[in-house]
Structure 1
Amino acid sequence: MAATVDGGVAELVPDRDRSNAWTLLIDRAPQSHVDLDDPTHLDFAYQRRLGHVIDLAAPAGRPVHALHLGGGALTLARYVAATRPRSTQQVVEIDTPLVQFVRQALPLDPGARIRVRGGDARAGLGKLPDAWADLVIADVFTGARTPAHLTSTEFLTEVRRVLKPGGTYAANLTDGPPLVFLRGQIATAAPVFPELALAADPAVLRGRRFGNAVLVGSDTPLPVAELTRRVATDPHPGRVEHGRGLTDFAGGAAPVTDANAADSPLPPPSTFD
């Protein structure tokens, strides 16, 4: 099952281990995994970490207002709908043909309150009122890279505007040695969000390989101890950095602004082998 979309060729590959689950590939790069029978199942390690953030963003089961910048196969929107019924969700996805392909091949639960809008993530963010969201999740990639205009202080200031007091921001970032991009993103978020945490595979944090890292920010203390426990007990255990450890990890990197922002680095050719 495949289609041509703005980002390249989208293909749905069945999961050999789960009867009604699929992996979305775009130009052969794994982009999302969806289990239609169990939307609470998050297969990718970074999506599991984002799932932990969703679980801890509010008391269990309480509906939230969630904004998803980047839609993919709508995996995390489905997860919120399943774990927090009656939540109000907006998804902003620039690749309209991808949205059409996903909605046709992997239909949403008609009862899920998920509204999908086509358009640029930052432009869509700018249309939301102040203090609308309990949760903002950024998972935006074009050609396996996060676009530059979604990496700056100005962008994060808009995110903070849209979040309610006590709301949570989470971003899926990718980088590899020497981790210049990731360190810069921590330095960029620090002036905007007083509380930050970073969850990733230890090998990524040590600069030994390219991979995903989830950056979490808020204006109130984060549930770091519980997030650390959950990330450490995942099928692919990760590590959480926070406080002084995260500051040391950033290593004095400078914040990124619109004037000097750049796309995240390209994955090495062997990343998706």
Structure 2
Amino acid sequence: MAKKKKITPEGKPPEKGRPESTTQLKGPQVRLRQYEALIFITGAVTLSLEVLASRIMTPYFGVSLYIWAGILSITLIFLALGYQLGGRFSRRRGKEALQLSLLAAPLWAGLSIVLAAAVYPVVFPFLATINLIVASFLGGIILLALPLVVLSAMNPLLIALARDLNPEGDAGAGRVFFISTVGSVAGVVITAFLIIPHLTNFRALLWMSLGLGLVVAGMSLAQEIPGSRKKRLLGGCALIVILSLVLLAGQRAYFRMLAGMSEIGKNFEVLAEYTSVFGNIKILEVRPEGEGRKPARAYLQDGIIQNMVTADGVILDHTGFMMRLVEAYTPDAKNSLVLGVAAGMIPRALHRRGGKVTAVEINPNSLTAATEYFEFDPKGIEVHVEDARTFVRRQQSPAYDLVITDLFHGDCTPDYLLTVEFFREVKACLAPGGVVVINTYFDPANETANETILATVGAVFPYLLELRSPSSGGLVSSACMVAANGPLDPQKAVTLADKGPMPAKDHQTLKAARLVTPAMLPPESRVVSDDHNIFSILFASSQLRYRSQFNKLPANLLVN
């Protein structure tokens, strides 16, 4: 039998002397590869946008379990909707319309991203005044809805286009979703390791929309598209590029306008901003109104003021109270460990008292901010850039007379730093007679959570002192625990309250010091372990309440 000649998609036999694959990668297949590259890019944008959205919403709505549930739900809903709409659209349109739609979809996404970047700093503060769970869903819709719908719709559109070249089997569906998913993985990695450490989330959105406009412009110029349609595509690209560049160039003026929208906006000036995977840090100059009120400098992380100190060195935050507890319960500590540095108030104060000080901070930008703006001098202090849990776990001997845990991140202490195993590791670091001072908060509307943390710490340390403000007015308020292997006398705190001038809240909290024993806690109070860590659930409602007390700052301070 005579051998059959191979026929190419153009109906001609392959040219002699040229590889068959080169011939096949002409015309429709070249365009298909271009569209696959576009699907990879838009897959990266999809997941990058989800990561950025969670960080953008943190200063307004927090990072509780409820907020994350909202973000993930919004993402999956609109991805599914996009797949469905893209599938329906592909059944009713010809090849030319599908090709045009594949190029137009990223433009709609880019336009919605740049408009969301312009709108959310104004809208989110208003949403934060309502229920934060509802607000997080609405915020997710503003940031994610249109981009996720149109970008996910591109997958079925490309599958429909690929059907002519892959008429058998899955018509190339598996390949399309593989490319899109790999693009999503790349988007997460690039966002985590390149975008977040070097760009604010606001600017990252604008660069993302700018990039989509430029990519589509390049593909439109490279392809043969009827003149009027190419002009419309390029016009859309130009609009997105111009809007993105205008907002990038005019960010400072826009933020000044946002500050002017608040009655207290003129009282704050942003001196510096640091971005990292551990959150957004802003250093503020605070000029309060009113006679006798002193200017101060504040350390703001993800919309919550963590530290504040006046120009003459008066500490206005919880760290001053923690140092009073040090004075009461371990005034002669020779070797101190501070877990969590932030603005560096506590290690600096301990160093001035004398003795060796070791400070552990996971965020290197915190150390930079503390050094540049809060007179934190690492000389004479042993500083470790490390996770607190891994640091205490690798300590080989009980060396510290004092351990201070000040480990807030976002709305609360990370739950893996609240378990019974963590406190056992802290206890193993203590020298005989050593004391642990723990920064936390208590929610008068959530005693179950309060009792659970007391039960967990009390399961490790036989002596536990609780210090919470009796005058919080029903608000979630900062509080402390003092834990030790030896007896703790609450009268020391009471006596300290009468020693000198201090904020009224500190005075009342010291007066309210009480010892907590297992017998004082309800029988249902449970000890939380790594195996079954429920703190994210227990504290979810408290995190919402805590965040709602801090999201009233001027809008420009909450944009990260």
Task: Assess same fold via TM > 0.5.
Answer: yes
Aligned to 2:285: 14
Alpha-carbon spacing, 1:214–1:267, altered in 2? closer, same or farther (3 Å): farther
Deviation at 1:15, TM superposition (A): 4.5
For structure 1, the 5+ residue unaligned runs are none
Quote how far apart the aligned CAs of 1:217 are.
Answer: 0.4
- 2:306 is paired with a residue whose SS is strand
Give a deviation string over 1:104-130, Cα, whole Å, max 9, x none.
Answer: 2223246x6222211111011123232
Q: d(CA) in 2 for partners of 1:58 and 1:8? A: 33
Q: CA deviation at 1:161?
A: 0.4
Determine whether 1:240 maps to 2:509. no
Q: Deviations over 1:149-170 (max 9, x none)?
A: 1111111111110001110011
Change (3 A) 1:166 1:234: farther
User: CA–CA distance in 1 between the matches of 2:381 and 2:489?
Assistant: 27
Deviation for aligned residue 1:98 = 2.1
Aligned partners of 2:330 and 2:402 also within 8 Å = no
Match of 2:323, SS state, is helix
The offset of 1:147, in angstroms, is 0.9
TM-score (norm 2): 0.43
Aligned equivalents of 1:241, 1:178: Cα separation in 2: 19
In the alignment, is the contact (CA less than 8 A) between 1:49 and 1:231 conserved in 2? no
| Letter paired with 2:380 | R
Cα RMSD between the aligned structures? 2.4
Inter-CA distance 35–132: structure 2 relative to 1 (3 Å threshold): farther
**CA pair 234-222 structure 1, distance change in 2 beyond 3 A:** farther
**1:166-185 pair list within 5 angstroms:** 166-176=433-443, 177-185=445-453
Partner in structure 2 of residue 196 of structure 1: 464
Q: Confirm whether residue 56 of structure 1 aligns to residue 328 of structure 2.
A: yes
Q: Does 1:141 align with 2:427?
A: no
Distance 1:118 1:109, change over 3 A: closer
Distance 2:549 2:351 in 1: 31
Q: Kindly provide the amino acid, as one letter, of the partner of residue 324 in structure 2.
A: H
- Cα distance, 1:76 vs structure 2: 1.0
Amino acid at match of 2:504: P
2:91 is aligned with 1:91 = no
Cross-structure match for 2:370 = 102
CA 55–132 in structure 1, closer or farther in 2 if over 3 Å, else same: same
Instruction: Flag the structure with larger Rg.
Output: 2
Q: Secondary structure at the match of 1:14?
A: strand
Distance, in Å, in 1 between the alignment partners of 2:516 and 2:368 is 42
Matching of residue 260 in structure 1 with residue 532 in structure 2 = yes
Q: Secondary structure at the match of 2:424?
A: helix
Deviation string 1:15-49 (CA, Å, 9 cap, x unpaired) is 44446x411111221111235643xx4322x3233
| Aligned-pair CA distance for 1:63 | 5.0
In structure 1, C-alpha distance between the alignment counterparts of 2:382 and 2:309, rounded to whole Å: 18
What is the deviation of 1:135?
0.7
In structure 2, the CA distance between the partners of 1:32 and 1:108, relative to structure 1 (3 Å rule), is: same
Mapping of 1:19-58 within 5 angstroms? 21-35=296-310, 37-38=312-313, 41-44=314-317, 46-58=318-330
Match of 2:493 among 221, 227, 231: 227
Distance 2:339 2:449 in 1: 19
| 2:118 alignment counterpart | none
> Who is 1:65 aligned against?
335
C-alpha spacing 1:147/1:229, structure 2 compared with 1 (3 Å): same
CA contact (8 A) 1:195 1:219 kept: yes
Bigger relative contact order (CA 8 A; separation at least 6): 1
Counterpart-to-counterpart distance in 2, 1:137 and 1:147: 16
Shift of 1:9: 2.5
Change over 3 Å in CA distance of 1:231–1:122 after alignment to 2 = farther
Matched residue, 1:186: 454
Work out whether residues 49 and 199 of structure 1, in 8 Å CA contact, stay in contact via their aligned partners in 2.
no
Query: Contact between 1:210 and 1:267, CA under 8 Å: does it hold in 2?
Result: no
- C-alpha deviation, 1:203, in angstroms: 4.3
2:307 & 2:519 partners in 1: Cα distance?
31
Q: Is the 8 A contact 1:89 1:114 kept in 2?
A: yes
8 Å CA contact retained: 1:33, 1:75: no
More displaced stretch, 48-57 vs 181-190: 48-57
- Cα displacement string for residues 218-269 of structure 1 (whole angstroms, at most 9, x for unaligned residues): 011113102133357742122212146x853x32311111112234441424
Structure number with the higher helix fraction is 2
Aligned-partner SS, 2:284: strand
Report the number of matched residues. 260
Q: How does the TM-score come out when normalised to structure 1?
A: 0.85
SS of equivalent residue, structure 1 residue 128:
coil
Write 1 or 2 for the structure with the bigger share of strand.
Answer: 1
Query: 1:2–1:9: 8 Å Cα contact kept in structure 2?
Result: no
2:548 counterpart of 1:270: yes
Bigger CA drift: 49-58 or 68-77? 49-58
Q: Superposition pairs for residues 117-136 of structure 1, below 5 Å?
A: 117-136=384-403
